[in-house]
Each structure stands twice: as C-alpha cells, then as structure tokens.
C-alpha cells in the first residue's frame, strides 16, 4: 500500500489532534503527516492518496495576498497540481453555534478549488445530525467532506471520524 498523506494545518490544536486520530486508525506506518505551513506543490505531487484537514478560515483570509495563516500560504500550491489521478478527501473543523451561517465553509472552498483541478472527492457526509443554517461545503445535498465541531460537539468526533474512515476505506485502500 502506498502511503496516505494527511496535509493539515494549523499545527497544534484541534485539527492536529483529529489528524493524529485519523493516522492512528489508518495505521501509523501507512500515513505521512504533512503540515501545510511549510508544504509545497512538490509535497503534493509525491502522493496519490491525500486527506486534507483544516480549520475554519474565511474566504477573505484565503483571498488575501498578505495572509499569514498556514492555509492562506498553502492555498496557491493547491492550484499547481492535477488531482485527476489522486484519491482525495477532506475533513474540516467548524463551530456550528457561532458560525451557523458559514459552518465549515472552508471544506467547500478547498473542495471546489481541488475539483477545479481535476479532483473527485470521496467521503461525502449526509447533513443529518448536524445543526447549522448554511454551509458552502454542501454540494448535491451532502457535505463534500467530514465536518467536525470540536468546540461544541467534541463527544461526537470519534464516532464521526470512525464512520467517515469506514466510508473511505475502500477508496484509500486501508
């Protein structure tokens, strides 16, 4: 089995913890963790199987040429790769209480950018069981990645991660 890359950011905090959980479930020897903070297109091109993990950031942050956050710096690298022959999935953290009108929008922003460059995303998640008003992460009635809320629903994370990994297991070959 070729290694699965988990591109994640920021370092530390909830995204890092969830990425570590995913790595543990898939198997430490089967995963390479790549912090987006210092990643480049050459890192993306090394892998045929990629899971992206990110926290809530707004479109204004990614669009800013002066952004200092990890994903703000990494987003231009996304557009430099063809994903048509890669297996790609996304998990994202959001806050369904404070940001009910933009819950996990970052999954949608990243996912749509990946799809513009040939990606077919795996790991869609039904909206059932989630409370929110609106989300740019919904395409054809489903989230295009795994939404998690470590602020207000941390007790659901393990169950949601396990179910999601079971759903993408065949596509990723683990």
Band (73; pLDDT cuts 50, 70, 90)? confident
Does pLDDT of 26 surpass 50?
yes
- Distance between CA atoms of residues 55 and 46, nearest Å: 24
Distances 35 to 71, 102, 128, 147 between C-alpha atoms, Å? 10, 25, 31, 20
Three-state SS at 15 = helix
- Model-level pTM greater than 0.95? no
> Domain-by-domain residue ranges, the chain?
4-172
Mean pLDDT of the chain: 91
What digits encode the pLDDT tens for the residues 101-134? 889 999 999 999 999 999 999 999 999 999 999 9
- Domain 4-172: give its CATH superfamily: Flavodoxin domain (3.40.50.360)
Band (83; pLDDT cuts 50, 70, 90)? very high
Rounded to an integer, the average pLDDT of 33-61 is 86
């Amino acid at each position: 089995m070729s290694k699965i890359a988990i591109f994640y950011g920021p370092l530390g905090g909830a995204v890092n913890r969830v990425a570590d959980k995913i790595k543990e479930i898939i198997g430490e020897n089967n995963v390479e963790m790549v912090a987006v903070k210092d990643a480049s297109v050459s890192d993306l091109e090394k892998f045929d199987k990629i899971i992206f993990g990110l926290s809530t950031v707004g479109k204004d942050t990614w669009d800013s040429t002066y952004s200092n956050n990890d994903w703000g710096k990494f987003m231009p690298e996304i557009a430099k790769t063809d994903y048509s022959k890669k297996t790609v999935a996304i998990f994202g953290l959001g806050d369904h209480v404070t940001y009910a009108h933009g819950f996990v929008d970052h999954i949608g922003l990243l996912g749509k950018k990946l799809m513009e460059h040939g990606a077919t995303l795996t790991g869609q998640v039904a909206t059932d069981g989630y409370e929110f008003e609106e989300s740019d992460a919904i395409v054809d009635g489903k989230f295009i990645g795994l939404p998690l809320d470590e602020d207000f629903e941390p007790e659901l994370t393990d169950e949601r991660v396990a179910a999601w990994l079971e759903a993408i297991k065949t596509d990723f070959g683990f």
